[in-house]
């Protein structure tokens, strides 16, 4: 079977047409020169006409060829720009999908780690299955749903005690006229002291969560000007209380024993670092801890004897 031939290119067609015009021009000149009765002037005019026709035809071919070339170039450029735009759009979609997937995995990982931060394996599994059921954690292969009690790793609970025997330092401003104490601040945080009575004020110092004997000069719009040793500034009045209002007597405790045990962390396993006498009626409660379901059970206190943690049922916590 004969193979198909490719159509002639523009240059080939132009060359063929030009050759045909020249061939006919030569033939016409030959006829004119051989024909009797045609004057020299008429022959010249005929030759000029042939040359004109040849030039016009060549110009038309050239123009048509140039137009097609430019049109082809424009179409090619448009196609290139389209491909670039489509490629950039697809790249952005891929990047966005990757970012969303990464953020989702980070979120799920944080939930899983929080779910198993408990000493109860059964509770950890319940937490995990709740997150799956709520749609917060994906489980396409049902591995979490099918977990049993022996499948979880053992995690030690976070340490809440100081080193064995280490005491919590009682912290006083040593101001003889200091009548206020720090309250409502977790033991691991501190009270910020600022240059102005608002959160925009610069932070100049901080006081421990068990600070006592603070001098309060004035209070306005929820902020109080205080003095503690060489520190002066403004603090939120939510974290201050008169010592007389924050102090509680020891109750529900046998007065024949050594006194109320003070520990260096909010847990029975933490070291006992001191005692509060049964007759002490000036125990400052700075902060009481608890969890989502129980009332607070441990309180950070200061007394004339020591500072540390006591069990709530052995003392009255602030209302």
Whether 317 and 206 share a structural domain? yes
Whether 309 and 178 share a structural domain? yes
Is residue 226 a contact partner of residue 189, using CB atoms and an 8 Å limit?
A: no
Would you say the pTM of this structure is higher than 0.75? no
Residue-level pLDDT at 232? 96
Write out pLDDT tens, residues 142-198.
Answer: 888 887 756 655 555 457 888 888 999 999 999 999 999 999 998 889 999 999 999
Q: How many CB atoms lie within 10 A of CB 239?
A: 22
Q: How many CB atoms lie within 10 A of CB 268?
A: 10
Structural domain harbouring 78: 7-115
**Could you say which of 80, 95, 115 is where a domain stops?**
115
Whether 184 and 280 share a structural domain? yes
Whether 168 and 99 share a structural domain? no
259, part of any domain: yes
Quickly state the pLDDT bin for 222 (edges 50, 70, 90): very high
**Could you say which of 100, 115, 130 is where a domain stops?**
115
What is the number of domains present in the chain?
Answer: 2
18, part of any domain: yes
Residue-level pLDDT at 4? 53
Write out pLDDT tens, residues 84-127.
Answer: 888 888 888 888 888 888 888 888 888 887 777 665 667 777 88
Q: Provide the CATH number for the domain around residue 298.
A: 2.30.30.40
CA atoms within 13 A on the CB side of 74: 6
Give how far Cα 75 sits from Cα of 68, 70, 72, 78, 85, Å.
Answer: 10, 9, 5, 5, 15
154, part of any domain: no
In this prediction, what percent of the chain has a pLDDT beyond 90?
Answer: 28
Whether 106 and 178 share a structural domain? no
318, part of any domain: yes
Q: Is the pLDDT at 22 greater than 80, yes or no?
A: no
């Amino acid at each position: 079977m004969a193979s198909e031939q490719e159509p002639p290119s523009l240059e080939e067609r132009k060359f063929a047409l030009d050759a045909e015009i020249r061939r006919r021009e030569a033939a016409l000149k030959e006829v004119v020169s051989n024909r009797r009765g045609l004057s020299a002037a008429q022959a010249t005019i005929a030759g000029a006409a042939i040359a004109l026709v040849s030039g016009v035809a060549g110009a038309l071919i050239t123009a048509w060829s140039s137009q097609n070339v430019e049109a082809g170039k424009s179409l090619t450029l448009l196609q290139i720009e389209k491909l670039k735009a489509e490629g950039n759009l697809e790249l952005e979609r891929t990047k966005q999908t990757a970012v969303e997937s990464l953020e989702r995995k980070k979120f799920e990982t944080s939930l899983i780690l929080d779910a198993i931060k408990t000493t109860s394996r059964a509770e950890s599994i319940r937490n995990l299955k709740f997150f799956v059921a709520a749609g917060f954690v994906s489980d396409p292969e049902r591995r979490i749903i099918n977990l049993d009690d022996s499948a979880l790793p053992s995690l030690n609970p976070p340490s809440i005690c100081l080193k064995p025997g280490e005491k919590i330092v009682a912290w006083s401003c040593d101001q003889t006229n200091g009548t206020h104490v720090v309250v409502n601040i977790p033991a691991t945080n501190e009270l910020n002291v600022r240059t102005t009575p608002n959160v925009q004020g610069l932070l100049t110092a901080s006081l421990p969560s068990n600070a006592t004997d603070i001098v309060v000069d004035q209070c306005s719009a929820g902020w109080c000007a205080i003095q503690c040793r060489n520190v002066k500034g403004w603090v939120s009045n939510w974290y201050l209380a008169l010592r007389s209002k924050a102090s509680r007597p020891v109750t529900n405790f046998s007065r024949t024993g050594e006194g109320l045990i003070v520990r260096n962390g909010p847990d029975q396993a933490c070291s006992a670092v001191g005692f509060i006498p049964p007759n002490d009626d000036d125990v400052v409660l700075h902060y009481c801890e608890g969890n989502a379901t129980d009332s607070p059970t441990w309180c950070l206190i200061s007394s004339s004897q020591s500072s540390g943690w006591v069990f709530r049922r052995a003392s009255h916590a602030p209302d």
